């Protein structure tokens, strides 16, 4: 539980950080909250030669409304998200989810940027970002680009980030007024990753589902958008047969690994239940 030797850098500007990362290449890793990277380093599963600490970089923190979008700086902590009334009012699902991430101590350090950029299938925010149609701003030596959360995740710990690039902010279109939402997560204990989790954002019209998106956490190598499951519920009043159909459609795209949380069959079964429960709870909240 002792990391190998590494050099520590603390740039003050984004340009400096990007420059360090591109110059130092593969042997450098950006350090945000450190709650994924540092334990890996202690186990020597990761041995970067350089750590580029982003805490001194100006402008990477904060929550702003820009037109019909909410823009969250990558270094904003989960705790800061929870403390924001703006988020509470316009994106309450972020609060519900952040409260299910680890424990208060971790949330004081853990950042939203680290959570979405690391590509860990166990992280909770990525599936949510897909459901919310969020996009990530990636900045590198050759400039900035926006990538949809939906296109960002390529495999476990593999993302669209190019070497030397940093994820600097997340923009989330404001969901429709009166939308219903829910994040359902089954975990064994505080601090655990999900056995299975599902994020739902939907709107209702005349007692029937008008729009719906369903995201899945820790049920594959990447977060998943359960499109067939969402299609199955549109136009329905979420009757038991529909819910069953949606759960089955969601289960069909899940491919979790067997681990101490349970065998594959159990984790998929729980995934289906999380989808069902999230749909029901979201519908109950829709105005």
Contacting residues toward other proteins, per CB under 8 A: 1-2, 4-5, 44, 103, 186, 188-192, 195, 259-263, 266, 269-270, 273
Q: Which is nearer to other proteins, 179 or 267 (CB)?
A: 267
CB-based contact 109:149 (threshold 8 Å):
no
116 within 8 A of 126, measured Cβ to Cβ? yes
Token pair, residue 146, equals 């926006």
Work out how close the CB of 262 gets to other proteins at its nearest, in angstroms, rounded to a whole number.
3
Q: Which is nearer to other proteins, 59 or 191 (CB)?
A: 191
Least distance (Å) between residue 2 CB and other proteins: 4
CB of 116 to other proteins, least distance (A): 21
Nearer to other proteins, 31 or 270 (CB): 270
Nearer to other proteins, 3 or 140 (CB): 3
Phi, psi (5° rounding) for residue 184?
A: -105, 125
What are the structure tokens assigned to 36, written together? Answer: 């994924």
Q: Answer yes or no: are the C-beta atoms of 26 and 15 closer than 8 Å.
A: no
Closest distance to other proteins from the beta carbon of 200 (Å): 18
CA–CA separation, 131 and 107 (whole Å): 22
Least distance between other proteins and beta carbon 108 (Å): 16
Q: Which is nearer to other proteins, 86 or 108 (CB)?
A: 108
Q: Where are the alpha helices (DSSP H) in the chain?
A: 14-24, 37-42, 78-83, 85-90, 92-98, 104-109, 112-117, 125-131, 149-152, 227-233, 240-253, 264-285
When the beta carbons of 53 and 192 are compared against other proteins, the nearer one is 192
User: Would you state the torsion angle of the CA atoms of residues 221, 224, 228, 234, taken in this order, to the nearest 10 degrees?
Assistant: 160
Strand-strand pairing, 50-53 and 208-217 = unpaired
Q: Report the nearest approach of other proteins to the CB of residue 115 (Å).
A: 17
């Amino acid at each position: 539980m002792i990391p190998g030797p590494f050099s520590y850098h603390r740039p003050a500007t984004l340009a400096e950080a990007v420059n360090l990362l591109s110059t130092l290449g593969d042997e450098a890793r950006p350090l945000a909250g450190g709650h994924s990277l540092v334990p890996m380093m202690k186990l020597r599963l990761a041995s970067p030669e350089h750590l580029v600490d982003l805490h001194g970089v100006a402008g990477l923190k904060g929550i702003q409304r820009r037109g019909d979008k909410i823009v969250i700086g990558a270094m904003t902590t989960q705790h800061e998200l929870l403390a924001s009334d703006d988020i509470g009012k316009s994106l309450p699902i972020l609060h519900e989810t952040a409260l299910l991430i680890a424990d208060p101590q971790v949330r004081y350090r853990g950042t939203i940027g680290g959570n979405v950029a690391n590509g860990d299938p166990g992280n909770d925010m990525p599936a949510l970002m897909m459901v919310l149609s969020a996009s990530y701003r990636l900045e590198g030596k050759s400039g900035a680009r926006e990538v949809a959360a939906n296109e960002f995740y390529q495999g476990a710990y593999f993302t669209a980030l190019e070497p030397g690039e940093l994820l600097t902010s997340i923009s989330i279109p404001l969901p429709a007024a009166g939308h219903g939402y829910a994040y359902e997560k089954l975990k064994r204990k505080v601090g655990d990753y999900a056995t299975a989790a599902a994020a739902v954002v939907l709107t209702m019209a005349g007692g029937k589902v008008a729009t719906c998106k369903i995201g899945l956490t820790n049920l594959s190598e990447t977060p998943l958008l359960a499109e067939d499951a969402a299609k199955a519920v549109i136009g329905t009043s979420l009757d038991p047969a529909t819910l069953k159909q949606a759960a089955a459609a969601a289960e069909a795209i899940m491919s979790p690994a067997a681990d101490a949380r349970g065998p594959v069959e159990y984790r998929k079964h729980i995934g289906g239940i999380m989808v069902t429960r999230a749909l029901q709870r979201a519908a109950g909240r829709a105005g």
